[in-house]
């Protein structure tokens, strides 16, 4: 994730993008779409592990823990589906 983020920063410092068509063309490149997808899968996985641990360590009463973790999981899965939809639409 750090390597992608640093590459992202360097790229945009060297080649700034100023308009929506430029952004869309950048995201539509197959290599960039795959890189963005892998980055966000790693990010969402990292978020899931961190939030799940916080919920199961600190949420009281304990009976709410599975419910809150499930809601968080569904929310993160929804963000993942939204990301796939955005990347798919950028390709067309």
- What does the mean pLDDT of the chain come to? 94
High-pLDDT (> 70) share of the chain, %: 100
Give me the DSSP letters along 47-66. Answer: HHHHHHHHHHHH-SSGGGHH
Q: What is the reported pTM?
A: 0.85
pLDDT value at 92 more than 80: no
**What sign does the dihedral 21-91-12-80 (CA atoms) show?**
positive
Extents of the domains making up the chain: 31-92
Buried (b) or exposed (e) across 46-73, using 16+ Cβ within 10 A? Answer: eebeebbeebeeeeeeeeebeeebeebe
Tell me: the pLDDT tens digits for 30-69? 999 999 999 999 999 999 999 999 999 999 999 999 999 9
- Name the token pair of 61: 């009463």
């Amino acid at each position: 994730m750090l390597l992608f983020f640093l590459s992202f920063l360097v790229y945009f410092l060297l080649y700034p993008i100023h308009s929506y068509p430029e952004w869309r063309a950048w995201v539509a490149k197959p290599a960039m779409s795959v890189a963005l997808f892998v980055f966000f899968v790693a990010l969402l996985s990292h978020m899931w592990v961190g939030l799940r641990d916080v919920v199961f360590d600190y949420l009281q009463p304990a009976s709410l823990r599975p419910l809150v973790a499930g809601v968080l999981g569904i929310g993160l899965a929804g963000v993942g589906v939204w990301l796939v939809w955005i990347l798919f639409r950028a390709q067309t």
